[in-house]
Amino acid sequence: MLVKALRNGLGGIMVVGDLLTRPPRQKRTPEAQQAVNTACRELALYQLPRCPFCIKVRRAMHKLNLPIELRNVNPGSPHRDVLQAGGGRIKSPCLRIEENGETRWMYESGDIIAYLQQRFGQQG
């Protein structure tokens, strides 16, 4: 009980810190941003609002100006069941990637951020 309270308290502080220190969004031409927005429809981030690793991924999404759907996986959420069934385990963050009719589940914040930077980061 105490550990959960500490985790939630620290998570809340981290959320506020994230909001206060967010980096500026990547700027693109309207056409390029529309292409990114369309590509992001194939992605969903399964996450917990106060998880430090999820906050790290959300910061990268903000910086890259990516409108990826966030799906909360708190206990009792239907997204939690989808994550368990599709990804094979309940662990956040997890990026669901739909490409060419196939679905991939990417765990680990560092891997997710590297994927997003490689796919959507500034070119040249």
Q: What is the CATH number of the domain that holds 107?
A: 3.40.30.10
Please choose, from the candidates 96, 102, 98, 67, the residue with its C-alpha nearest in 3D space to the C-alpha of residue 84.
Answer: 96
Q: Tell me the C-alpha distance between 120 and 24, whole Å.
A: 15
pLDDT of residue 124: 39
**What total number of domains does the chain contain?**
1
Would you say residue 6 has pLDDT above 50? yes
Q: Can you say whether residue 105 is alpha, beta or left, with left for phi > 0 and alpha for psi between -120 and 50 degrees?
A: beta
Domain extent, residue 46, equals 2-23+30-120
Average pLDDT, the chain: 90
> Residues 40-65: what's their mean pLDDT?
96
Q: Tell me the C-alpha distance between 8 and 48, whole Å.
A: 11
Q: Are 95 and 105 in contact (CB under 8 A)?
A: yes
Report residue 5's pLDDT band, with 50, 70 and 90 as the boundaries. low
Residues 6+ apart with CB under 8 A from 22: 59, 62, 63
What digits encode the pLDDT tens for the residues 64-116? 999 999 999 999 999 999 999 999 999 999 999 999 999 999 999 999 999 99
